[in-house]
């Protein structure tokens, strides 16, 4: 019998809300190095807003998976608040307070570290954000903790747009221990129908990313969901329904339609007509699309991958991951 080829070992992160079911979390833990609890917040003067995340962190630790706390400038409506980020980033004393409270929270809960996820940062606050992550990493590394940062999917240093201008790839690669790239959401709730993570677009982000950040510091984002759009798409009115990959497959089966595969973007999709005569298109992930994405880790020598998110378990995806890589346990 031929000896099985030794697999590369990679880091795998998964984001979870505290509402995750224990059954789903347990199913995922074998495939994770880190689990990131989403999300902690903060006030303009640097007070940490605590997340009740023990139902994630305790089972994770028992399974040998290291829990991280995710820090975001989310407002009470759950939207990214760049004014809140601006207030913090322009107040050195507030930052010192926040870093100290992050350290205290990590130590008190027995966590492994923190993931900074500030999105839509103003361009004028870019360097201040990088410096905050750098100072947090210096302090927390001295205490034995990890600092990661989640960045928008850029393809050039001077890329225009609020999502991109506040994120400095080279600076953050130097500031943080690891960088998580959000290589998903091309297809999104309010946008036109398309693949959530088209491989040709993902590849462009990674190709640029490795010119600014050491590949062994990069975790590539992978979506664990799809979207169902009603047709025709009307800009400003249409709103896609977010669904699990299993639900997508179930809909294709229910309506008796064939799943197609777009070779350029390496993603599955299908059309169907519902009971009210409304046409739909669904884009999602399957074994083929996930295999194509995961192959980029080996091709570019990346540290690993980060799943957004793990609120649904996808058995097929787990089998693809385990068939290609060994998941590191720290």
Q: Which residues are catalytic?
A: 119
CB-CB contact of 179 with 172 (8 Å): yes
Over 144-173, what HEC string results? CCEEEEEECCCCCCCCCCHHHHCCCHHHHH
Within 8 A by CB and 6+ apart from 34, the residues are 11, 12, 13, 14, 65, 66, 67, 68, 112, 330
Strand order across the 279-283 sheet? 241-243, 226-230, 279-283, 267-273, 260-262
Gap between the Cα atoms of 98 and 113, Å rounded: 14
| Cα angle value 50/51/55 (rounded, 5°) | 140
Among 229, 225, 243, CA closest to 272? 229
Residue 197 CA from chain centroid, whole number? 12
Pairing of strands 241-243, 304-308: unpaired
Radius of gyration of the chain (CA): 20
- Neighbour tally for 54: CB within 10 Å: 12
User: 123, 165 in Cβ contact below 8 A?
Assistant: yes
């Amino acid at each position: 019998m031929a000896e099985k080829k030794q697999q590369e070992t990679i880091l795998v992160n998964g984001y979870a809300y505290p509402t995750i079911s224990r059954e789903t979390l347990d199913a995922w833990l074998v495939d994770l190095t880190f689990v990131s609890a989403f999300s902690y917040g903060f006030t303009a003067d640097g007070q940490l807003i605590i997340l009740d995340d023990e139902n994630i962190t305790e089972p994770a630790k028992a399974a040998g998976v290291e829990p991280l706390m995710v820090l975001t400038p989310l407002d009470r409506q759950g939207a990214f608040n760049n004014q809140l980020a601006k207030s913090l980033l322009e107040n050195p004393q507030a930052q010192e307070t926040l870093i100290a409270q992050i350290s205290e929270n990590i130590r008190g809960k027995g966590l492994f570290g923190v993931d900074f996820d500030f999105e839509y940062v103003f361009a004028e606050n870019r360097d201040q954000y990088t410096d905050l992550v750098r100072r947090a990493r210096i302090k927390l590394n001295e205490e034995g903790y990890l600092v990661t940062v989640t960045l928008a999917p850029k393809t050039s240093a001077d890329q225009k747009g609020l999502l991109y201008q506040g994120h400095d790839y080279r600076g953050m690669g130097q500031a943080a221990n690891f960088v998580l790239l959000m290589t998903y959401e091309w297809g999104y709730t309010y946008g036109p129908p398309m693949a959530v993570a088209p491989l040709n677009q993902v590849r462009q982000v990674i190709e640029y990313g490795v010119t600014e950040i050491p590949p062994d510091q990069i975790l590539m984002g992978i979506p664990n969901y799809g979207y169902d759009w009603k047709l025709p798409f009307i800009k400003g009115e249409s709103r896609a329904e977010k669904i699990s990959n299993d639900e997508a497959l179930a809909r294709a089966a229910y309506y008796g339609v064939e799943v197609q595969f777009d070779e350029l973007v390496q993603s599955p999709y299908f059309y169907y007509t519902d009971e009210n005569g409304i046409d739909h298109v669904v884009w999602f992930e399957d074994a083929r699309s996930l295999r194509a994405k995961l192959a980029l880790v080996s091709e570019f020598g990346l540290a690993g991958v980060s799943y957004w998110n793990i609120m649904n378990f996808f058995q097929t995806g787990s089998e693809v991951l385990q068939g290609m890589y060994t998941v590191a346990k720290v």
